[in-house]
Amino acid sequence: MDSDEYYKKYLEESLIKLKTRDLIEFIKREFPEEVNYNHEIHQKKVEALKSLSKTDLSAAIARLARIQRKFDHTKLWTIGAVFIGTALVNLQILFKVNLTKISEENYINYLMYGITALTVCFVLYRAIRKDKKISDTAAYLKDLIEQVKSDK
C-alpha cells in the first residue's frame, strides 16, 4: 500500500470513526485554516479528499454539520442572557448587595460580588469561545468538502 492509499484510508476512517473532540484535533492538524506548510502537501491532502467516494463525502458533510450545530450556541443567547441576569441577581442576594447603597460598612460585599460576577461571566465566555472555535473548525472542513464534492 503506497503512502497516498494509506493517507486516503486514514482520512476516510478519521472522518467517520473519530470522536468529536479527536476529529476537531485531526482537522486542525491535517487541514489548518491557515496553511503554514508546503502548498504541495496541502494540495495532496485535498486530492485525497477528492478521491473519497461521494457517499463518504456526504457522510462527512452530515457529521460536520451536526458538530457545527451542536457547538453553535447563538440560538441560546437569549436564554443565556436571562440565566446570567438571574445568576447576578442571586449573587446580589447572597452577598446582601444593594447597588444603589454603597457605604463603608458594606463595600467588601460589593467587591466580593463584583469579583464573583466577573468570574462567572469570564468562565461562561471561555466556554462559549471554546465551543465557537469547534463550530468554526467543523464549518471550515465542511465547506472544503462541499467544494471538493461539487468539483468531482
Q: Which is nearest to 94 in space by CA: 64, 116, 79, 76? A: 116
| Domain identity same for 7 and 51 | yes
pLDDT in tens, 54-96: 999 999 999 999 999 999 888 777 888 888 889 888 888 887 7
| Domain identity same for 66 and 13 | yes
| Domain identity same for 63 and 104 | no
| Domain identity same for 78 and 113 | yes
DSSP 26-93: HHHHHS-SS--S-HHHHHHHHHHHHTS-HHHHHHHHHHHHHHHHHT--GGGHHHHHHHHHHHHHHHHH
| Domain identity same for 114 and 53 | no
Q: Comparing 88 with 146, which gets the higher pLDDT? A: 146
Look at the chain and report how many structural domains it folds into. 2
pLDDT in tens, 4-47: 888 889 999 999 899 999 999 999 999 887 777 677 888 888 89
Domain span at 90: 74-130
In this prediction, residues 118-128 reach a mean pLDDT of: 89
| Domain identity same for 16 and 66 | yes
| Domain identity same for 124 and 146 | no
pLDDT at 99 over 80: no
| Domain identity same for 39 and 99 | no
The answer to whether the CB of 49 falls within 8 A of the CB of 141 is no
| Domain identity same for 17 and 60 | yes
Q: Comparing 40 with 143, which gets the higher pLDDT? A: 143
Q: What pTM was computed for the model? A: 0.76
Q: What residue has cell string 473548525?
A: 137
pLDDT range class, residue 1, cuts 50, 70, 90 = low
| Domain identity same for 34 and 108 | no
| Domain identity same for 79 and 65 | no
Q: What per-residue confidence (pLDDT) applies to 109?
A: 78
| Domain identity same for 80 and 121 | yes
